[in-house]
Amino acid sequence: MAIKRIGVLTSGGDAPGMNPCVRSVVRTALYHGLECYGIRRGWNGLITGDVVRLDEKNIGHIINRGGTILYTARSKEFMTEEGQLRATATCKFLGLDGIVAIGGDGTFRGAQALSRHGVNVVCIPGTIDNDIGCTNYCIGFDTAANTAIECIDKLRDTMQSHERCSVVEVMGRNAGYLAMYVGLAVGATAVLIPEEPIDFNRDVIEKIRQARFNGFTHYMIVVAEGAGSASDIAAQIKEAIGLDPRVTVLGHIQRGGTPTGRDRVNATKMGYLAVELLVAGKTNRIVCTNAGSFTDVDIEEGLNMHKGIQRMEEDVLMAMTGV
């Protein structure tokens, strides 16, 4: 079946780079002579028919903007069979021949459900957690990491001036990729991630103690939100060795801001490939990166893949923290 009209949506948590990705999808669709419609507020917008036609004019100057011009939301109704059937009916009513869905694991599972009802979908990974199993990289990760690094660098200045211990909680849900990357980049004293069991004395107290023996009088502990509460970690440090750590939860600031060059370029390439797949009749796919190359996998296969913390990265983390 020839593709004539497609929709694009962003769903779940927003990620810097979603706008450049939407822009790329629209521009590629127009290049192929397709109509492209933005579906606002994620899967809920597909249920209610909340759509807007997208063209060169209304995607102008969004490549540098954080967030998403299509808005994003989580839809409990779409998680039900009834909601999925309503969304499918909307696709038929509007004549949408395919959907490009930008988001994380929850977005992809929604797309998977829709594909089982006969709707052609292509998914693009957009999440700062970088926790999609079938891809090495997700849109938004680089910007979020750089935001966290900048904040921690500034925080370190005052921690050093006052010779204090700081415990910083970064986002990532149940994944430690962001915390590990940020911890390496800032030279953290210790990094706690949910993928590895935590021995508090070995992983925190001894690292602080060794740093003190090495002449340091300030300490930076980076905690992934899935590994525990920064406040709890700080309380345990105070009880164990008498330090009075300062707690900083970076929170949603990590999801905002102008996307970095890396996120803009990757988003552009992924958006382009998604439309090319639809045009070629290759649907129900997830766009992904593998060793620097952009490729795609079947949505069923991709959602069954698991991405663990690579052993080499763990070894580097162990070698470089505690100093």
Of 36, 77, 75, 81, the residue nearest 58 (C-alpha): 36
Sign for the CA dihedral angle at 178, 180, 185, 187 comes to positive
> Could you confirm whether 14 is annotated as catalytic?
no
Of 224, 225, 221, the residue nearest 243 (C-alpha): 221
Q: Which residues pair with 192 in a beta bridge?
A: 223
- Angle among Cα 314, 317, 319 to the nearest 5 degrees reads 110
Radius of gyration of the chain (CA): 22
Distance CA 183, CA 314 (A): 12
Cβ–Cβ < 8 Å for 250, 151: yes
> Could you tell me the CA-to-CA distances from 17 to 120, 147, 270 in Å, in that order?
23, 14, 11
Distance CA 228, CA 193 (A): 9
Collect all residues with Cβ–Cβ distance below 8 Å to 29 and sequence separation of at least 6.
6, 35, 36, 275
> Roughly what angle, to the nearest 10 degrees, separates helices 141-162 and 261-279?
160
Among 129, 131, 203, 296, the active-site one is 129
Strand residue runs (E) in 34-164: 35-39, 51-54, 98-103, 121-125
Of the chain, the end-to-end C-alpha distance in Å amounts to: 60
Positions marked catalytic: 129
